[in-house]
């Protein structure tokens, strides 16, 4: 997941950075630093953010599958 994908995912979910902090086991400072493309954000923090967004319904698209990285929101399944 890239910082831009993280921002786009939050926008699709209509989440603020503070909302993501509530849902993910990471700090608001870590979210801000990642989205500002700081290079010192650990892979564990990035993975925690990505897992949280995936659990909320975001599917990330790898840059090697299309012309660039992307994402989409998963359709809700009715039971």
Q: Which residues contact 52 (CB under 8 A, 6 or more apart)?
A: 20, 23, 24, 25
Q: Is residue 14 part of a domain?
A: yes
Indicate the pTM of the whole model.
0.82
Residue 59 phi, psi (nearest 5): -110, 125
Is the dihedral angle over the CA atoms 25, 28, 32, 37 positive or is it negative?
negative
Task: Provide the domain limits for residue 37.
Answer: 3-73
Query: How many domains does the chain contain in total?
Result: 1
- State the Cα–Cα distance between residues 73 and 53, nearest whole angstrom: 10
11-57 pLDDT per residue, tens: 999 999 999 999 999 999 999 999 999 999 999 999 999 999 999 99
Q: Is residue 78 part of a domain?
A: no
Q: Is residue 63 part of a domain?
A: yes
| CATH code for the domain of 17 | 1.10.260.40
């Amino acid at each position: 997941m890239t910082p831009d994908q993280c921002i786009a995912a939050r926008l699709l979910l209509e989440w603020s950075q503070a909302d993501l902090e509530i849902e993910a086991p990471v700090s608001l400072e870590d979210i801000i630093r990642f989205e500002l493309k700081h290079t010192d954000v650990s892979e564990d923090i990035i993975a925690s953010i990505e897992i949280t967004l995936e659990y909320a319904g975001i599917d990330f698209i790898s840059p090697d599958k299309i012309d660039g990285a992307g994402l989409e929101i998963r359709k809700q399944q009715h039971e």
